[in-house]
Structure 1
Amino acid sequence: MNGLIDEMNGKEFESIFTIDLFNKIHQMIEKKTLPLENALMLLKHIGYCKELKIICLESFDDSLLSESMNKMIIDENEKKKEEMNEKRLIDLCECYLLLSRWPSSKMDSIYVPCLLKVALKKDETEEAQKEVEMALLALGNIGLWEMKRELYLKETSEIIEYHRELHNLTQLAYQSAWNFLIYRLFTDKSLEEVITNELHFVGEARREFEELSKCVDWKRKEERRKEVKEVKIIWRWLNVIDYYFFSCTLWNEELVGLVNCIVQVLLASRDNHKDICNGCLDILRNTAINRNVKIDDLLKSGAIDAVMEKMNQSTLDDEIMWNGLLFFLNISERLNEKEDDEKEEAEKKTTKRKTFEKMEEEGLEDIMTSLYGVISFLNKNAYRKLSKNACEYLKRRKFEEERRKKTSMRKNK
């Protein structure tokens, strides 16, 4: 069964693991035709694959199994210490968090200490590493709700710092630990000081990103179900990095290096990994919005050149169009703002000249002017895609510009 689950793609996964199937598993557990321990092993593997395949599965939350597992977790936790089956409680928490899209925030005081205890294991055997990976993967699936610091911060920091020193975690486990911590920023902005300056998120994300991207043959086109594990972990890192750039208010000198790393993956993935490519463009769009990231750093990192190159491809789609034009819209708006400090204003003028020269060379300056109203409207109203007319407009402008250049060259000859 596990082998079949591993081979499923997203559509097959969603079509098989329905409310009815989870209800049947619940009934089998209730009637004892399926031992609970066996059911938990199966469900844990389903949840693991669901997370690694990055599938949004809503069927479990509406099933009888979800309700009964919730009750089993509470019942097991309320037992006296000598009567409690700790392994069963861990398995129940992992299954529930891995399968649920909307886990209950009221049970954080059970999930979090239980799974952090597992994640704190420093045994480097393969079995122990797998247990730690599963616990952190489950924790990383906890949503963006408020959580008391004393419940998680000391232990999570210890896990991250220990790995930074000895590299005891798998790549998926380490990414999941950061996933869990970065999501806490949603309700506790003061965590940014710890995340940025004490735990060095930016440098760690860059190092992990570079190591993972070296393991991928970007030139090889693969079926989705056969994608290497590293590609999926890169996608998970993109989500976390995107959220960090969207939320961060502290400048960190390593940001340029991380942006450059995103740029390199964007360029490498552009032909055969459209999801990764668009994920990189999402991040670059957010860096252009974030006033703590300097426009000059976007120039130095190669971000501006990379987005231009992507937009100049003949295979443009609406998603790339939307991200690229918003990227330049935000940059243009920021460069046209005046600085109070004379030195900063002079530096901005130099950056503005360099940037607008690049945009003018590619014909983007005229395009930005003609589409300004459309782009601003779409940005303010949170539309994810431009109309096909706008996309066709850009393609037509590029075609006319290339024809004009060829005509000019013939005349000069």
Structure 2
Amino acid sequence: MIENEVKKKEKKNENLLIDLCECFVFLCATNLSILLSICLPCLLKAASKKDETEEAQKEVEMALLALSNIKYYFIERELYLKEITEIIEHHQKHRNLTHLAYQSAWKFLNYQFFVDNSLEDTVANELHFVGEAARELEELTRNVDWNRKKGEEGGKETKEEFILIRWVETIAIYFLRCKLENEEFIGLLSSIVQVYRAAKDNHSVISNLCISSLRNAAERRVVRIEDLFKGGAVEAVLEEIQRQTLNEGRTNECFKFFMNVSRKLKEKNKDEREEEERKATKRKIFEKMEEEGYEDIIISFHETLKIFNRRYYYGLSLKISDYFVNV
């Protein structure tokens, strides 16, 4: 149907073509190559509309939502980068997109960043993803009814919860690939911790994703130990590992986080001032862990490390000392 519509020389139905491209992307996201050259420009054109009527906003939102479904698929920059950059920059100036539309634009771009690391300068420095993500998290966290009982609204997430989940997923993807330092990391980590604390007692999906994002951040060399500490990540994961309802998946994430914290604290800096800062941070983290009885918690899991490693395939050290912080 898409090919037939494109072949028409007269009376092309643009709205029908957009609808067909959206359906195709939602249904065939893993097999896009055959029609990508048609669907991508069609959806980007639909998403670029500046009309702010409610109907036009819904059309833009649906086009961007469809684009965000294109995952881990390498696309030549010429096919999308100029258009998606303009969409994001226009919103940053005029705030014309819905929360879902804006998040979808970022999700699409971050999936491309996942397969093309050279996009990081655009994502981080030109479009300021880290600061924008922190701002969106904070606003959405205020709008979610965290006291809503699980059985309400048919057990489904509200729209705000749905968008929040997508943001935390997108941030987790960004942390997996980022290599550039960013002075806004502390603010973003703080926002993730804020979401985690709001969600931990009644929204396991969101709180799980927050812990995974913090673990991804800890794995990146570019995210400094000072960022993790000042952003509240260390304290939040300490809270998580002490929870009585902790499951195996979250335990594994917590272990990976602390293993990377320990690794970062063992890396000495040549710069004397930075080395003094590292030692001061190390002392603070040690004291916080000691206060929370961290070593006893880690030792209690010692016998299960091999099980976690087998079940989750990789990543954990079997040396218990690799999770400790010594001063």
Match of 1:218 in 2: 146
By how many angstroms is 1:107 displaced? 2.1
Match of 2:8 in 1: 79
Alignment counterpart, residue 238 of structure 2, candidates 280, 298, 308: 308
Give the Cα–Cα distance (whole angstroms) in 2 for the partners of residues 263 and 208 of structure 1: 14
Q: TM-score, normalization: structure 1?
A: 0.71
Alignment counterpart, residue 43 of structure 2, candidates 98, 112, 115: 115
Give the Cα–Cα distance (whole angstroms) in 2 for the partners of residues 134 and 375 of structure 1: 44
For the 8 Å contact 1:335–1:348, the answer to whether it is kept is: yes
Match of 2:248 in 1: 318
Q: TM-score, normalization: structure 2?
A: 0.89
Q: How many residues align?
A: 314
By how many angstroms is 1:240 displaced? 0.5
For the 8 Å contact 1:257–1:301, the answer to whether it is kept is: yes
Query: Tell me, what secondary structure is at the counterpart of 1:106?
Result: coil
Gap change, CA 1:295 and 1:99, over 3 Å in 2: same
Of 95-104 and 363-372, more deviation after overlay is shown by 363-372
Give the number of the structure with larger relative contact order, counting CA–CA contacts within 8 Å between residues 6 or more apart: 2
Query: Tell me, what secondary structure is at the counterpart of 1:282?
Result: helix
For the 8 Å contact 2:172–2:213, the answer to whether it is kept is: yes
For the 8 Å contact 1:103–1:143, the answer to whether it is kept is: no
Gap change, CA 1:342 and 1:378, over 3 Å in 2: farther
By how many angstroms is 1:367 displaced? 4.3
Query: Is the counterpart of residue 153 in structure 1 residue 81 in structure 2?
Result: yes
Alignment counterpart, residue 291 of structure 1, candidates 211, 215, 221: 221
Match of 2:19 in 1: 91
Match of 1:138 in 2: 66
Give the Cα–Cα distance (whole angstroms) in 2 for the partners of residues 215 and 292 of structure 1: 32
What amino acid is aligned across from residue 79 of structure 1 in structure 2? K
Of 141-150 and 369-378, more deviation after overlay is shown by 369-378
Of 302-311 and 267-276, more deviation after overlay is shown by 302-311
Gap change, CA 1:385 and 1:250, over 3 Å in 2: closer
Gap change, CA 1:93 and 1:358, over 3 Å in 2: same
Give the Cα–Cα distance (whole angstroms) in 1 for the partners of residues 307 and 220 of structure 2: 19
What amino acid is aligned across from residue 19 of structure 2 in structure 1? D
Gap change, CA 1:290 and 1:274, over 3 Å in 2: same
Give the Cα–Cα distance (whole angstroms) in 1 for the partners of residues 147 and 235 of structure 2: 21
Match of 2:265 in 1: 335
Alignment counterpart, residue 121 of structure 2, candidates 193, 196, 205: 193
CA deviation digits over 1:147-186, x for unaligned, max 9? Answer: 1111111111111011111111111111110011111112
Stretches of structure 1 lacking an aligned partner (at least 5 in a row): 1-71, 387-413
Gap change, CA 1:196 and 1:130, over 3 Å in 2: same
Match of 1:233 in 2: 163
By how many angstroms is 1:239 displaced? 0.9
Give the Cα–Cα distance (whole angstroms) in 1 for the partners of residues 179 and 307 of structure 2: 26
Query: Tell me, what secondary structure is at the counterpart of 2:34?
Result: helix
Gap change, CA 1:373 and 1:291, over 3 Å in 2: farther
For the 8 Å contact 1:206–1:258, the answer to whether it is kept is: yes
CA deviation digits over 1:330-360, x for unaligned, max 9? Answer: 1012212233333333222221121122122
By how many angstroms is 1:247 displaced? 0.7
Highest CA radius of gyration, 1 or 2? 1
CA deviation digits over 1:106-140, x for unaligned, max 9? Answer: 32211111011111110000100011011110111
Give the Cα–Cα distance (whole angstroms) in 2 for the partners of residues 148 and 205 of structure 1: 25
What amino acid is aligned across from residue 76 of structure 1 in structure 2? E
Match of 2:182 in 1: 252
By how many angstroms is 1:314 displaced? 2.3
